[in-house]
Amino acid sequence: MSHRIEQIASMLRRAISEVIQREISDPRVTGLTSITRIDVTPDLAEAFVYVSVLPEEHATRSVAGLNHASRHIHDGVIRRVSLRHVPKLRFRLDQSLKKQAEVLDAIRVANERTGPENGPDDNPDP
């Protein structure tokens, strides 16, 4: 990703977060909504906004609400950033945090089964 695209993604992240916090009143958008990353297409036509929602049971509904309000969010972003063209916003649920938590949980369970005496740092010197 080019430096320019990274700058635009960072600018969009701040503006979108502000719009969601201050201007969105859609009842579907509930819980704590965090932007985890933004992928902007090289032609700046679209920006895929990945969000995490807590509690998790509100995630699908909140993302649907954000996509429904994407035009309003887009207009709010236009007022906050100085870009000639603001990409079309597409909201997606970020599943990577859930997958990371599952991997960490599996590692924790495996460590509990084997015990600390079998860890790599506990090898006795010959």
pLDDT-above-90 percentage for the chain: 68
Q: pLDDT tier at 124 (50, 70, 90 boundaries)?
A: low
Domain annotation for the chain: domains and CATH numbers: 3-114 (3.30.300.20)
Kindly indicate the confidence band of residue 120, based on its pLDDT and cuts at 50, 70 and 90: low
Calculate what percentage of the chain has a pLDDT beyond 70. 90
Integer Cα distance of 26 and 112 in angstroms: 44
Residue 54, token pair as written in the block = 């807590």
What pLDDT score does 110 carry? 86
Q: Which helix (H) or strand (E) holds 62?
A: helix 59-68
> Residue 20: what residue type?
I
At 105, is the pLDDT very low, low, confident or very high (cuts 50, 70, 90)? confident
Res 15: pLDDT? 97
Question: If DSSP codes are grouped into helix, strand and coil, which group holds residue 27?
Answer: coil
Q: Please report the pLDDT score of residue 43 as a whole number.
A: 94
